[in-house]
Amino acid sequence: MTSISIGPFALATSTALLLAAIALFYLTVHLFTRKSKHHQKAKDAVITALIAGFIVARLSFVIAFWEIYQQNLLSVLDIRDGGFSHGFGWVAGVITLLVKIRGDKALVTSYVKSGAITVALLFPLVVINTLLSSTTTYSSIEVVNRHGEPVSLPQLSDKPVVVNFWASWCPPCRREMPVLENAQAQRRDVTFVFINQKESPATARKFLQQQGVELDNVYFDISGSAAQAVGAYGLPTTLFFNPDGSLSDSHMGELSEASLQNYLDSWN
pLDDT tens-digit readout, 20-32: 999 999 999 999 9
Residue 6 predicted with pLDDT over 70: no
Four-residue CA torsion sign, 211, 145, 216, 153: positive
pLDDT category of residue 172 using cuts at 50, 70 and 90 = very high
| Preceding amide of 201 cis, omega within 30 | no
The rounded distance, in Å, linking the Cα atoms of 145 and 204 is 12
Q: Is residue 193 a contact partner of residue 162, using CB atoms and an 8 Å limit?
A: yes
Residues 59-106 pLDDT 10s: 999 999 999 999 999 999 999 899 999 999 999 999 999 898 887 888
pLDDT category of residue 2 using cuts at 50, 70 and 90 = confident
The rounded distance, in Å, linking the Cα atoms of 111 and 192 is 45
> What is the model's pLDDT at position 85?
95
Which among 178, 161, 162 is positioned nearest to 237, based on CA atoms? Answer: 162
Residue 133 predicted with pLDDT over 70: yes
Q: Is 69 helix (H, G, I), strand (E, B) or coil?
A: helix
Residues 142-157 pLDDT 10s: 888 888 888 877 666 6
* Strand intervals (E) in 29-149: 142-144
Q: Enter the DSSP assignment of 91.
A: H
> What is the model's pLDDT at position 35?
86
The rounded distance, in Å, linking the Cα atoms of 203 and 21 is 42
Residues 182-234 pLDDT 10s: 999 999 999 999 999 999 888 998 999 988 999 989 999 988 888 888 888 88
Residue 251 predicted with pLDDT over 80: yes
Within a 13 Å sphere around the CA of 98, how many CA atoms are in the beta-carbon half? 7
Q: What is the mean pLDDT of the chain?
A: 89
Total-model pTM: 0.88
Q: What domains can you pick out in the chain, each with its CATH number?
A: 11-134 (no CATH), 138-267 (3.40.30.10)
Helix axes 171-186, 257-264, angle to 10 degrees: 50
